[in-house]
């Protein structure tokens, strides 16, 4: 089986970081997204807290603004995006700010009435405003749901976020922003470990979308690995570090439990 890490895509970031030999401010990650980024709660939970709490070191920090039910429209209309930009400005004198941007789960719902073209444009606007505020944007393709189909005789993840994943990558290409393909990475890992392992990360037994605390640690670590590949200076300065066993197990497609 090919290692997952060998398949990850790396682009040049919008805002260049210092070479590993140069001093840099510790990063501050501001997370923008829906419930698959958000803090664990009764009806939501994503990778965000696992990333912030287990992979950042040496003064690196961040804040999770992931919001249950959020779309690229409601996140702006409800004032969450203003909080993101205000936080960027508040921390920029002591940190190098990054903004991760991951939506799609709710934008795709018919009730949201958001076309793929609008979704792409909304992401591109987030990127532009992030750069204007002095931060480095990282577009994140949506975390895979843990729903499987068995028509081939072996369980495989249903690709129900393919359009949103492609649109996120298009937004990155159109703006020159960095992106990490979390959808691809999570899908490959979930296919490798199968439903029995995957369902242990469910927030509740019947919830195949949101993550419990352990799932947040696992997929937060996956996010950190992808960011390390795009921004190697963060790893070189030991600001972003991933548990070695988690890293190896994900790369080999072996079930990992924190």
Tell me the CA distances in angstroms from 169 to 72, 107, 118, 119, 160, one per residue in order.
15, 16, 14, 12, 16
Collect all residues with Cβ–Cβ distance below 8 Å to 144 and sequence separation of at least 6: 157, 161, 182, 183, 186, 187, 190
* pLDDT higher than threshold 50 for residue 1: no
pLDDT band at 23 (very low <50, low <70, confident <90, very high): confident
CATH fold, domain 4-252, is Rossmann fold (3.40.50)
Q: What is the pLDDT of residues 205-243, one digit of tens each?
A: 999 999 999 999 999 999 999 999 999 999 999 999 999
Q: Which residues pair with 140 in a beta bridge?
A: 180
pTM passes above 0.95: no
Q: In whole numbers, what is the pLDDT of the chain averaged over residues? A: 93
202 neighbors 210 (Cβ within 8 angstroms): yes
* pLDDT higher than threshold 60 for residue 76: yes
* pLDDT higher than threshold 70 for residue 3: no
Higher pLDDT, 8 or 83: 83
**What was the pLDDT predicted at 153?**
87
């Amino acid at each position: 089986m090919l290692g997952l890490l060998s398949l990850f895509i790396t682009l040049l970031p919008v805002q260049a970081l210092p070479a590993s030999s140069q001093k840099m401010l510790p990063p501050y990650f501001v997370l923008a997204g829906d419930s698959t980024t958000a803090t664990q709660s009764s009806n939501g939970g994503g990778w965000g807290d696992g990333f912030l709490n287990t992979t950042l070191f040496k003064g690196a920090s961040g804040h999770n603004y992931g919001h249950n039910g959020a779309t690229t429209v409601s996140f702006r209309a409800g004032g969450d995006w203003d909080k993101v930009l205000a936080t960027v400005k508040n921390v920029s004198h002591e940190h190098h700010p990054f903004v991760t941007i991951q939506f799609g789960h709710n934008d795709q719902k018919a009730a949201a009435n958001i076309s793929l073209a609008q979704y792409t444009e909304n992401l591109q606007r987030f990127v532009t405003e992030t750069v204007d505020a002095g931060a480095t944007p990282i577009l994140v393709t949506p975390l895979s749901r843990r729903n499987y189909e068995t028509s081939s005789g072996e369980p495989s993840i249903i690709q129900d976020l393919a359009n949103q994943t492609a649109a996120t990558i298009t937004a990155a290409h159109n703006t020159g922003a960095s992106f990490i393909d979390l959808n691809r990475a999570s899908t490959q890992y979930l296919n490798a470990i199968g439903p029995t392992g995957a369902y242990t990360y469910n927030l509740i037994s019947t919830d195949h979308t949101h993550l419990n605390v352990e799932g947040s640690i696992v997929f937060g670590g996956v996010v950190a690995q992808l960011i390390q590949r795009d921004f190697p200076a963060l790893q070189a300065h030991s600001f972003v570090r991933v548990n070695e066993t988690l890293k190896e197990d994900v790369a080999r497609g072996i079930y990992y439990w924190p």
